[in-house]
């Protein structure tokens, strides 16, 4: 049996994580510059076209090389035909002409109105960020007005740049916090861990652990050019949930979880979930198997031209299964795939996907035979795959010992947007790791809001906690849902100002932040965030002292 203390002291252990936001904001806000009224005239800035490449004669063609700044920035579209086919800049002349024709038909009294959003989008001189003082303007319209400014800023960044300091305006915020997104992933993984604890066959237990990871990843996506709220230090959540089990089934679970933002630089969200597996027999007996899963979630967003790659950083932690016979098994994540936000600059369809390797190993004591290893490789979509046959596919295996050289026990295939199955190398029925949705529907490749109702319950008393995300972000969330952009900006700035004031006060007092539920156990290069004794029970006790400080 491997103890929790032994796991904490081991520097190699890593916890599965759920993705944080793609772009981590700093507590600063772009200066709001009102757009001056201009005459409603058609845009006259021409788009680069094939006839311009030829010039006015052979000599002009030889002396002047065709160039599009946008395509040059992308680094891959250096052909005029491709430019005209898929580059958004190529459409600006036609859009400007259409905008001009529409403006000519309007009354002169409307000549002082703001220019067409589409025309200003493709003009050579980008418009300043809008004031967004009007209520009810659609989020798509506001984002369209701001996106060109963001593209201009990204042009100053080299590929491979860390975007942790990137400032996201209020119009590009998803209406929920990263702590809530992490909790959603935890809720979708609990059933897999419960099934693993009830399973008697070792390799199949590994499949259930992989299934838990896939369930979390498939439900915790961000959205291109949007992000959840960056949690305030000490932001805290508690939730409970469960899945009923049928007779003879090991799919049921009853679980409790807590999530807390324990660090701001770098951003880290600690989590702990534990539960009882529920497997009913014909006689009515209930399984005594249980599980606990803990660690921290952290990521680094990297700018790669038309893609932002959110690199998941495995943190110390692990998954512990207590089997029905009392045996304890430990699993840890060795690597995690990246969440890639594709086509963020408007070239092609925008979507999110996973790319890279997920590798989980069953830990064995020193001197014991090698343990099981589960590995899944997420294949990125191909750029010019018009039928999208390569999109969101994955392959993998469960091996004994090394993932590359050990004997293969199970092969894994499928797509994380659809169905993922495993099949034993010696034959047998397929095992669902990620079941297909009803009717063959595909899972979304982006998420604009949390599911309603959520697949878990929030204790009523926890909603009164000062640093509960519903308390911290309620004004901003309401403004985003109402599309009241002026109020949204004010609410976002108020939270950031409070965060800065608190940091300044701690710096002046020479104090540091102390999490409410978790302890940071020092390791050579980082900390392992472990739940304090009794903290889970206190979080669910309505009579216990509030576990977080006021803002």
Pair (187, 235) in one structural domain: yes
User: How buried is 114 (Cβ within 10 angstroms: 0-12 exposed, 13-18 middle, 19+ buried)?
Assistant: middle
User: Which helix (H) or strand (E) is 142 found in, with range?
Assistant: helix 139-154
Residue 545 domain-assigned?
Answer: no
How high is the pLDDT of residue 266? 87
Q: What are phi and psi of 68, to 5 degrees?
A: -120, 120
How high is the pLDDT of residue 412? 98
How high is the pLDDT of residue 35? 45
What's the predicted TM-score (pTM) here?
0.74
Is residue 358 within 8 A of residue 386, CB to CB? The reply is no
Residue 45 domain-assigned?
Answer: no
- Residue where a domain terminates, one of 127, 161, 195: 161
How high is the pLDDT of residue 389? 66
Residue 115 domain-assigned?
Answer: yes
CB-based contacts of 474, cutoff 8 Å, min separation 6: none
Query: How many domains in the chain?
Result: 2
Is residue 274 within 8 A of residue 282, CB to CB? The reply is no
Pair (121, 55) in one structural domain: yes
Pair (180, 304) in one structural domain: yes
Pair (101, 24) in one structural domain: no
Pair (238, 340) in one structural domain: yes
How high is the pLDDT of residue 83? 46
Residue 178 domain-assigned?
Answer: yes
Residue 320 domain-assigned?
Answer: yes
pLDDT in tens, the chain (551 residues): 444 445 444 544 455 445 444 444 444 444 444 444 444 444 444 444 444 444 444 444 333 344 455 445 444 444 444 444 444 444 444 444 444 554 555 444 444 444 433 333 333 333 343 444 445 555 556 666 666 677 777 777 788 888 888 878 888 899 999 999 999 999 999 999 999 998 999 999 999 999 999 999 999 888 877 889 999 999 999 999 987 665 555 557 899 999 999 998 889 999 999 998 876 666 665 677 999 999 999 999 999 888 899 999 888 999 999 998 899 999 999 999 999 998 877 667 788 999 999 999 999 877 777 789 999 999 998 766 545 667 899 999 999 988 788 899 999 999 999 999 999 998 889 999 999 999 988 898 888 889 999 999 999 999 999 999 999 999 999 999 998 988 999 999 999 999 999 999 999 999 989 999 999 999 998 899 999 999 999 999 999 888 866 65
Residue 406 domain-assigned?
Answer: yes
Pair (391, 427) in one structural domain: yes
Q: How far is CA 231 from the centre of its chain?
A: 14
Q: What are phi and psi of 470, to 5 degrees?
A: -65, -30
CATH code at position 176: 2.40.160.120
How high is the pLDDT of residue 368? 76
Pair (185, 70) in one structural domain: no
- Residue where a domain terminates, one of 134, 161, 188: 161
Pair (283, 358) in one structural domain: yes
Residue 544 domain-assigned?
Answer: no
Q: What is the DSSP string of 193-253?
A: HHHHHH--SHHHHHHHHHHHHHHHHHT---BTTBEEEPPPTT-EEEEEEEE---BT---EE
Pair (114, 252) in one structural domain: no
Is residue 197 within 8 A of residue 323, CB to CB? The reply is yes
Pair (447, 471) in one structural domain: yes
Is residue 460 within 8 A of residue 542, CB to CB? The reply is yes
- Residue where a domain terminates, one of 161, 179, 209: 161
Pair (206, 319) in one structural domain: yes
How high is the pLDDT of residue 329? 95
How high is the pLDDT of residue 280? 63
Count other C-beta atoms under 10 Å from residue 352's C-beta.
21
How high is the pLDDT of residue 288? 78
Q: Which structure tokens are listed for 194?
A: 């419960």
The parent domain of residue 119 ranges over 50-161
Residue 480 domain-assigned?
Answer: yes
* Alpha-carbon span 527 to 232, nearest angstrom: 19
* Alpha-carbon span 223 to 522, nearest angstrom: 35
Over the Cα atoms of the chain, what is R_g? 26
Pair (156, 239) in one structural domain: no
């Amino acid at each position: 049996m491997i103890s929790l203390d032994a796991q904490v002291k081991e520097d190699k252990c890593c916890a599965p994580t759920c993705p944080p936001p793609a772009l981590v904001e700093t507590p600063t806000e772009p200066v709001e510059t009102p757009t001056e009224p201009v005459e409603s005239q058609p845009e006259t800035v021409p788009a680069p076209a094939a006839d311009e490449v030829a010039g006015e004669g052979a000599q002009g063609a030889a002396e002047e090389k065709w160039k599009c700044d946008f395509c040059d920035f992308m680094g891959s579209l250096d052909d005029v035909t491709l430019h005209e086919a898929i580059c958004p800049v190529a459409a600006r002349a036609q859009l400007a002409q259409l905008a001009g024709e529409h403006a000519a038909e309007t009354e002169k009294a409307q000549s002082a109105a703001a220019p067409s959003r589409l025309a200003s989008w493709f003009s050579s001189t980008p418009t300043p960020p809008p004031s967004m003082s009007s209520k009810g303007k659609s989020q798509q319209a506001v984002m369209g007005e701001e996106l060109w400014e963001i593209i201009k800023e990204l042009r100053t960044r080299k590929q491979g740049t860390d975007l942790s300091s990137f400032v996201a305006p209020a119009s590009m915020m998803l209406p929920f916090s990263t702590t809530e997104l992490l909790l959603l992933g935890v809720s979708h993984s609990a059933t897999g861990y419960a099934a693993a604890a009830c399973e008697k066959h070792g390799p199949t237990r590994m499949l259930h652990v992989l299934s838990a990871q896939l369930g979390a990843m498939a439900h915790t996506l961000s959205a291109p050019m949007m992000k959840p709220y960056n949690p305030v230090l000490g932001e805290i959540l508690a939730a409970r949930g469960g899945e009923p089990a049928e007779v003879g089934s090991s799919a049921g679970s009853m679980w409790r979880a807590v999530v807390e933002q324990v660090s701001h630089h770098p951003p880290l969200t600690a989590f702990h979930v534990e539960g009882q597996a529920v497997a009913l027999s014909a006689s009515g007996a209930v399984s005594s198997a249980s599980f606990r899963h803990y660690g921290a979630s952290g990521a680094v967003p990297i700018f790669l031209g038309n893609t932002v790659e959110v690199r998941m950083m495995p943190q110390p932690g692990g998954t512990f299964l207590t089997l029905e016979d009392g045996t304890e098994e430990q699993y840890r994540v060795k690597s995690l795939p990246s969440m890639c936000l594709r086509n963020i600059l408007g070239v092609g369809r925008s979507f999110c996907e996973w790319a890279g390797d997920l590798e989980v190993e069953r830990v064995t004591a020193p001197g014991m035979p090698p343990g099981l290893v589960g590995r899944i490789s997420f294949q990125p979509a191909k750029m010019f795959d018009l039928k999208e046959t390569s999109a969101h596919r994955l392959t993998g295996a469960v091996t004994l010992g090394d993932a590359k050289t050990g004997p293969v026990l199970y092969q894994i295939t499928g797509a994380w947007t659809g169905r993922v199955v495993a099949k034993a190398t010696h034959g047998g029925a397929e095992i669902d790791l990620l079941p297909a949705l009803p009717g063959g529907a595909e899972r979304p490749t982006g998420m604009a809001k949390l599911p309603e109702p959520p697949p878990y319950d929030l204790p009523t008393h926890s909603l009164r906690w000062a640093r509960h995300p519903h308390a911290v972000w309620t004004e901003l969330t309401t403004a985003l849902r109402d599309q009241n952009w002026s109020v949204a900006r004010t609410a976002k700035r108020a939270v950031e100002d409070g965060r800065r004031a608190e940091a300044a006060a701690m710096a002046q007092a020479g104090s540091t932040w102390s999490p409410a539920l978790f302890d940071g156990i020092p390791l050579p290069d980082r900390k392992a965030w472990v739940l304090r004794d009794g903290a889970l029970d206190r979080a669910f006790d309505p009579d216990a002292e509030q576990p977080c400080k006021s803002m």
